[in-house]
Structure 1
C-alpha cells in the first residue's frame, strides 16, 4: 500500500503542472480532462459545461512524478479557491546547492516562510509556499 498526495488546484492544475516541470523537474505521466469522461452526465462532479462545476477542458485527474514520488492533481470543482492548509511537501535533495536551486525555483511567485539556511539538522533547510499556495519544505543533507 502507498499514500500519495492528491492536490486540488481548483482551476489552475495545468498551470501548476507546467510550473512543477520547470521548478522541480516533474514528469507528467497522465492528464485526463473532464471532457474525456465517457459518461459525464452519469458521474456527480463531472460537469459537461452546462452548469456549475468544472468546465470540460479542466483537468479531472493528473499524475506526475518528482524524483521517485508520484503525486496526483486535479482542478477539482474549479472553484478558484485552492487551499493547502495543514500539510507540506518535503523535498530532500542530495546537496545544499541543489536545495538552493529547488528552493529558489519554488519561491518564484510564491512566499518564503523561512529562508533557506544551515540548521543543526541540515546544511540547507527552508520553507516556502509556491505561487499556488502549496507549502514546501526543502531539507538538504545533514
Structure 2
C-alpha cells in the first residue's frame, strides 16, 4: 500500500496559464491535463477549464485545477492531496480527518477515482483524498 502527499493549487480560471509559467520558470514537465470537457455533464462554459493537472517539478509533483467559481474561498487556494491505492485506507483517513472538521465533498466513487472526497480538518487544513484506480 502506498500513500503520498501532494500540494494541490486551485485557481479561478488561471490553471493553464500557471502551468505554462511553471514550465518556463521551474522547468516543470506536464504529467497530465484533464479538462472539464473530459467529465460527463459539464456545462459548455466550463469545458475549457482544467479539472485536474499534474506537473513534475524536479523530484516533486504539483497538482492544479480551475474552479468554476468566480472567486476562491480563503484557505482553498492550496490544499493537500492525499493519494492512496487502497479505498479502505482512503475511507479511514477521510473519516478521521472529518472528525471535528467539515466535509466539503463526500468521499465517493467518481469518473476518475474509486474513492475521492474533500474535507477540512479541525485545524482548518483542507485535504483532498484521492484513490488511484487499480
The TM-score normalised by the length of structure 1 is 0.47
Larger Rg, first or second structure (1 or 2): 1
The TM-score normalised by the length of structure 2 is 0.50
